[in-house]
Amino acid sequence: MTKKPYLKKHFFGLLALLLLFALDGRASDTLRVTTHQKVTVVTDPSKGTKHHKAWGVFPKVKEDIRSIKLKVRMGCPDNMRCADWDYKDHITIRRTGGVKGASLDYEVARMLTPYGGAFAKDWQFNWEVDVTDFSLLLRDSVEIDYEHTGWEPNEDRGWSVTLEFEIIKGKPARQPIAIQKIYDGAYRYGDSAKDIETLLKPVSFQANPQASMARLRVVQTGHGMDKPDNCAEFCNKYREIWYDGKMIDKRDIWKKCGDNPLYPQAGTWVYDRANWCPGDLMQPDLYDLAVKPGGQHSVDINMQPYVSSNPSADEFITAYLIQYKAPEAKHDVALVDVMVPSSKDAYRRLNPAGAQPQILIKNLGAEPLREVKVRYGTKGFPRKEYTWKGELAPAAEQHLVLPGLLHGQGEKNEFEVELLKPNGKKDKYTADNKMSSRFTAVPGQDSVLIVYLMTNRQPEQTSYSVKNAAGKVVKERAAGTLKANTLYRDTLYLDKGTYTFSLLDAKGDGLEFWANPRGGRGKARLLNQQGAMLQDFESDFGSSVQYSFTVGGPKAPVADLSSFGLYPTRTNDSTTFDYYANSPQDVLVQIVTDPGNVVVHEQTYKQIREGIFTYDLSHHPKGRFYLKVLIGGEEKFKKRIRLKE
């Protein structure tokens, strides 16, 4: 009997503790709603569009949602190869509330598919975009449509698509009140008979009595190929945003594609385009507009005046107004993402890195953020602290570069970041102040290394540098100092430390690009003193490529690396394959038809380490082929050949 009060006391103590954990956990609970799981997505060539619809069960209306992130994964279908063309795909809320519920047709995201003709069977890539602005709609049963456009054949090629909504439950930083679609369509651009401004009319709206802000969320991409400017896909035109009769933004509807993290691709992936690139999940343009509660306001989108003699250009625009209450807290800062170090596909051009972590933060409070303390470091290593100072408006984001080296070893490391004391005050909501990121550490190398650079026929575009962790250049070949078709072997003698090798192309088409035959082909590698290849750089790299490493610690073993090259890939007669490896291998080369995969040439090279081999295709009819390389029965390289096209 004497034990009962003791047990009762500890029972209620344990219950209180569990409730505390439950309440804390509720703020950061993560729900994952997968509507499309490896769905095979193909075109309908008879219509130019095909819908792939599925339902998902989202949080109930009364549940608090802190944030929603849409993650899109694409790969090659199990029984097909990846598709070829850069088509415009729409991810749309079709219905809410079940089969008999409301029909909405709200586009939440837009995907531009990559040129996938050369991707291996195991290729996949991940993108993500914040869709918290649609939290009023992503409730209960929702039908999500992945609409794939295009006209290419659908029997042997397509995409495997997975859509996952990552929902963080918790008190929203700003309570959404209403969402309103204001623009949605393909707006003909350049037609003198019907100017685009007659379609993009000003939109008036009344602010909710409880609203303090209306967010304008715009997704815009230009498509079509008119004359003479190749609008809208390949012409650079500006757009204006007007609010209550005043212009609040003016910018070019244009995007550089040479630094696309998804590279290389089979088509013209490096060509800059009208606000999009192949293999690109669109990030929306956001404009936070102060409103007068209950007041009347207007929004207007204007395009640069333009007239075409043969109009066929379209500006595909969706725009929404989401009204929000005032922020819940004066001081509330959130970690949006860790960019460096990271294993995310979106940041692959920045990683692995040996120094200067990079993070993205957001001010969710009502007051401007003027300072915040950042505590960071790799798990198992001492933490560093850095205080950022500046001026970050409410709802705005800031990219921070943090000082110091990135410690780690091997492939399994965890980098941890925490934000503390926004404006020297207690953060109202701490569940989104911490984040971790798994990453691969940079390799250790010897103090003597060789930069192997074979220039192409346009060397004035090429340059490289080797910098230490402080950003000091220890070796470089500046643009304009290199000669065409010349091999440079620069020996580096490096002190203990962390270094980054950066290779740049000023035009954004790398050392090789199939649509630029005048440029020829170059190649770049990093070698050790014995000539073994430590890193081979893809020649079709676009704008830049980098490689970080350390000197003075444990050295990474020399891997059994191979290098493959094929040029030209657009030819009327012959093409040349070059091969280099650290150890001898049996190499099987096949040239096959596309489509059909019929072998038209096959050659086995026994125990070779390097070689240059030319294949005459002039006796074949016009068409497309693939050159495939197999080692040990596994496909290691595949590239398309355009013959007589």
Would you tell me how many other CB atoms lie within 10 Å of the CB of residue 352? 22
Q: How far is CA 642 from CA 267, 426, 567, 645, in A?
A: 11, 62, 11, 6
Whether the predicted pLDDT of 22 surpasses 70: no
Structure confidence at residue 116 (pLDDT): 96
Instruction: Categorize the per-residue pLDDT at 16 as very low, low, confident or very high, splitting at 50, 70 and 90.
Output: very low
Report the distance separating Cα 82 and Cα 154, nearest Å: 11
Rounded CA separation 373/468 (Å): 26
3-state secondary structure string across 527-571: ECCCCCEEEEECCCCCCEEEEEEEECCCCCCCCCCEEEEEECCEE
Task: Report the run of H or E that residue 3 belongs to, with start and end.
Answer: helix 3-28
**Tokens 């602290």, residue located:** 385
- Rounded to the nearest integer, the mean pLDDT of the chain is 94
Could you tell me which of 498, 521, 504, 624 has the C-alpha nearest to residue 571? 624
Residue whose tokens read 């059909």:
596
20 has pLDDT over 70: no
Residue 253 CB partners (closer than 8 Å, separation 6+): 220, 222, 236, 237, 238, 239, 274, 275, 303, 315
pLDDT in tens, 244-268: 999 999 999 999 999 999 999 999 9
Residue pair 259/271 in contact by the 8 Å Cβ criterion: no
Residue 161, CA distances (Å) to 38, 42, 74, 271, 331 in order: 5, 10, 5, 25, 39
Q: Quick one: residue 542, left, alpha or beta (phi over 0 = left, psi -120 to 50 = alpha)?
A: left
pLDDT tens digit sequence for 60-110: 999 999 999 999 999 999 999 999 999 999 999 999 988 888 899 999 999
- For residue 189, pLDDT beyond 80: yes
Helix (H, G, I), strand (E, B) or coil at 347: helix
Domains of the chain (ranges; CATH) run 24-169 (2.60.120.230), 176-322 (2.60.120.230), 333-439 (2.60.40.10), 442-559 (2.60.40), 561-645 (2.60.40.1930)
Surface-to-core class of residue 616, CB atoms within 10 Å of its CB (0-12 exposed, 13-18 middle, 19+ buried): exposed
The 3-state secondary structure of 323-334, one letter per residue: EECCCCCCCCEE
384-405: pLDDT as tens digits: 999 999 999 999 999 999 999 9
Residue from 431, 601, 457, 454 nearest 518 by CA: 457
pLDDT for the residue 102? 86
CA proximity to 329, closest of 287, 368, 382, 366 = 366
Q: Does 19 have pLDDT greater than 70?
A: no
pLDDT surpassing 60 at residue 13: no
pLDDT band at 8 (very low <50, low <70, confident <90, very high): very low
Residue 426 to residue 330: CA distance in whole angstroms: 10
With a cut of 50, say whether residue 23 has pLDDT above it: no
In this prediction, residues 151-157 reach a mean pLDDT of 95
Half-sphere exposure of 421 (CA within 13 A, CB side): 10
| Cα gap 289→203, rounded to integer Å | 14
Distances (CA, A) of 160 to 47, 117, 343: 21, 14, 21
Q: Which residue has the tokens 């404009």?
A: 287
pLDDT score recorded for residue 28? 57
Helix (H) or strand (E) holding 23: helix 3-28
Burial 122-145 (b: 16+ CB within 10 A, else e): ebebebbbbbbbbbebbbeebbbb
Q: Is the pLDDT of residue 17 over 80?
A: no
Give the pLDDT of residue 18. Answer: 42
pLDDT in tens, 581-618: 999 999 999 999 988 889 999 999 999 999 999 999 99
pLDDT band at 640 (very low <50, low <70, confident <90, very high): very high
| Cβ atoms of 261 and 345 closer than 8 Å | yes
